[in-house]
Amino acid sequence: MTRNSYAKGSRDPWNYFSQRAPRRDRNRGALLSSGAMPAPPFIPFSVLLGILGILCVALTVFWNQKWRGGFAWDGSAEMFNWHPVLMVTGLVVLYGTAALVYRVPRSWEGSKLPWKMLHAALTLAAFVLAVLGLVAVFEFHNKAGIPNMYSLHSWLGLATVLLFSCQWLVGFASFLLPWAPNWLRALYKPIHVFFGSAILPLAMAASISGINEKLFLSLKNPTPYSQLPAEAWFANILGMLILVFGLLVLWALAMPAWKRPEPDSQETQQPLLQEAS
């Protein structure tokens, strides 16, 4: 069979595979190629993710209440217990939720203003909780005479918070304020998306390493960590739940069928103040 034998048809066999490229259905936003990864329904997936996020926070609170002595805000060990709760709630659960705002199908139509506001509010709340979490751990260390910033967990955690702070400030200035030109927003957007996705695994690594560090420092007598007492089992399961939650968020961010369509229009690049006017 030669290339000329297809002259009567509208298709060229040498371009067959290019014509079979995945396309997006306008009504469903799903990929229609047989080779594309099938996407589960978004709402049940969101419910599952919400349950996992609530479990991560609830189990962190329960762990510190049952085995670590509860909570206080006086520079004691009980004040330190706020550190894992605030960090998991802010940098993992709230931040992961904020990252998925533009994957909600209802955000695909109409103005982006409400979704910009929601994304900014969730990330700001996550930032405030992260700062309070740092205050809790530094106050405890300073009062107890424990050195700050000596472990890999502390380096990783502080680097995550600093990167998150820069991400929020530059994103606010670029996308929510009117002075950034459109070409600069278009240039910065993929950078913002990349670092937005990178911060979550950093937060997961900091959280899991922090749980592990706390267990190594605390479980010595009478039952060491190596013998897996009940607290070790519980905290290890908590770490795995954090891992599962974060991986599902990253999987949702990478799902082509859930990405917001971005038509070539000036509206998609408008800052908040201009869009609201």
Q: What is the CATH number of the domain that holds 123?
A: 1.20.120.1770
Does a structural domain hold residue 185?
yes
The C-alpha atoms of residue 3 and residue 12 are separated, in whole angstroms, by: 7
Q: What is the rounded distance in angstroms from the CA atom of residue 255 to the CA atom of residue 198? A: 16
Cβ of 151: how many Cβ atoms within 10 Å? Answer: 14
- Peptide bond connecting 263 to the previous residue in cis, omega within 30 degrees of 0: no
pLDDT at 10: 41
Whether 65 is covered by a domain: the verdict is yes
Is 167 strand, coil or helix?
Answer: helix
How many domains are there within the chain? 1
Structure tokens at 236: 């290890």
DSSP helix, strand, coil percent of the chain (3-state; round to 5): 70, 0, 25
Q: State pTM to two decimals.
A: 0.81
How far is 272 from 13, CA to CA, in rounded Å? 48
Within a domain: residue 33?
Answer: no
Q: Does 9 fall in a domain?
A: no
Q: Determine the pLDDT at residue 35.
A: 52
Cα–Cα distance measured from residue 168 to residue 106, given in angstroms and rounded to the nearest whole number: 24
Q: How many CA atoms lie within 13 A of 139 on its CB side?
A: 18
Residue for token pair 């908590």: 238
Q: What is the pLDDT of residue 263?
A: 58
Burial class of 208 by CB neighbour count within 10 A (0 to 12, 13 to 18, 19+): buried
Q: Classify residue 241: in a domain, yes or no.
A: yes
Classify residue 153: in a domain, yes or no.
Answer: yes
> Is 211 a member of any domain?
yes
Residues spanned by the domain of 91: 39-276
Q: Can you list the alpha helix ranges (DSSP code H) found in 20-145?
A: 42-66, 77-80, 82-87, 95-99, 113-144
Question: How confident is the prediction along the chain (277 residues), in pLDDT tens digits per residue?
Answer: 444 444 444 444 334 333 433 444 444 444 444 455 677 888 899 999 999 999 999 999 999 999 999 999 999 999 999 999 999 999 999 999 999 998 988 888 878 888 989 999 999 999 999 999 999 999 999 999 999 999 999 999 999 999 999 999 999 988 887 788 888 888 999 999 999 999 999 999 999 999 999 999 999 989 999 999 999 999 999 999 999 999 999 999 999 888 888 654 444 445 544 544 3
Asked whether residue 67 is assigned to any structural domain, the reply reads yes
Residue of 50, 77, 102, 53 whose CA lies nearest to 204: 53
Instruction: State residue 227's pLDDT score.
Output: 96
